[in-house]
Structure 1
Amino acid sequence: MANLTATVARVVVDVDRHGKNIKDVQSEIVKLKEENRLLKTAVEECKRYSWRWSLKLHGLKENVNEDVRKEVIIVLGKVAPGLQVYLEDGVDIAHRLGPKRTDGSNRPVIILFALRRILDAVWKCAKGCKFLRDNKLRLTQALSPEDRLAREKLWPLVDKARKEGKRATLIGPFALIDGKKINHWDVK
């Protein structure tokens, strides 16, 4: 009987200790999940920053043995004539995205700028640019794949809010609806 009582007492102590250990592990898991979310957010922000140095040009016709960078500089020179002398140094890399298309449609061109002020000036000049409209060209912000997915997830909310007469817009990977910031991870 004394053996049984001692064994039960040991089991009770072990259960209490394991219960405390489980609570400690659970709180540690909560902390690690939050730290992981913060780290993922920081990494996404770093990626997003590098994408901010780029624009996409849609509609530029593809030619055999083309020098995409040179063609882009010519187009951007017509979009922002005052910047033409700076574009040779301001445009670092320009290349087509993805494999050649079998349907004959033109692949977009990603343009990486060496100077942020050149990108900002070109982007400003591109808004409502007659040359782009007349030549069926379009400049857009280059978004990271994560930002594209986030926008696809948030767009129904923004669209619904606009139909309800609310002010709503997409900014990077989040939406602003009547001044309230909504992140993509908040949407089910």
Structure 2
Amino acid sequence: MDSQLSSLVAENKRLWDKVDELDAYKRRWNLRISGVLEEEGENVKMIILEIFHQVSPGLADVLQSSIDVAHRLGPKLGYTRPCTITVQFLSRSHRHRVWADARRSEVLKQKKIRISEDLAQRTKEARNKLWPLVEKARKEGRRAGFRGPNAVVDGKRISADDV
């Protein structure tokens, strides 16, 4: 029974890791946009297209056909913050271009709109757990960031399980 249990536990972990991997891969076509005010009867895709035209003017003619779906997450209107918008692209190269342009966009800063990656829940949890370590390393002047669910400090990969 003990060997069978440990075998099932190992298999369960392997399957969950695979599910997480597939979820993260699927989300590589997505971006999340927060800070866009909600309006009754809005066309979210058109709102996103207007924002992306300002962020990446070089992609203006292809963005219409590059965005597959754009919709809000969560309950409708009436809350203190507007719901986040998820955008799924048909082309990862266009998604990467918008993501890169958004990181240095003055338009987004002025409008207080934030664009971020669409991370899987377990990746977010792992990064939240590792954030104090990354923040401390950065304050010490060391190179630190994230790669997937792992932190990378001075080229050394650190898992949330290691902390």
One-letter amino acid of the counterpart of residue 143, structure 2: R
Q: CA deviation at 1:94?
A: 0.6
CA distance in 1, matches of 2:116, 2:98: 11
Partner of 2:44: 68
Q: How does 1:39-118 map to 2 (within 5 A)?
A: 39-100=15-76, 102-118=78-94
2:136 is matched with which residue: 153, 160, 165? 160
Aligned residue for 1:169, secondary structure, equals strand
Are the counterparts in 1 of residues 38 and 77 from structure 2 also a CA contact under 8 Å? no
Partner of 1:120: 96
Structure number, greater radius of gyration: 1
Partner of 2:148: 172
One-letter amino acid of the counterpart of residue 88, structure 2: L
Partner of 2:110: 134
Give structure 1 stretches of 5+ with no counterpart. 1-24
User: Aligned residue pairs: how many?
Assistant: 163
Say what the alpha-carbon RMSD is for the aligned residues: 1.8
Larger relative CO (CA 8 A, sep 6+): 1 or 2?
Answer: 2
Q: CA deviation at 1:34?
A: 3.4
CA distance in 1, matches of 2:7, 2:153: 30
CA distance in 2, matches of 1:91, 1:34: 39
One-letter amino acid of the counterpart of residue 125, structure 2: L
Query: Which stretch shifts more, 74-83 or 28-37?
Result: 28-37
Q: CA deviation at 1:28?
A: 4.9
Give structure 2 stretches of 5+ with no counterpart. none
CA distance in 2, matches of 1:33, 1:136: 46
Aligned residue for 1:52, secondary structure, equals helix
Aligned residue for 1:36, secondary structure, equals helix
Q: What fraction of aligned residue pairs are identical, expressed as a percent?
A: 38
Distance of aligned partners of 1:165 and 1:27 in 2 relative to their CA distance in 1, 3 Å threshold:
farther
CA distance in 2, matches of 1:124, 1:149: 24
Q: CA deviation at 1:32?
A: 4.1
Distance of aligned partners of 1:176 and 1:63 in 2 relative to their CA distance in 1, 3 Å threshold:
same
Aligned residue for 2:78, secondary structure, equals coil
Structure 1: 4+ residue segments shifted above 6 A: none
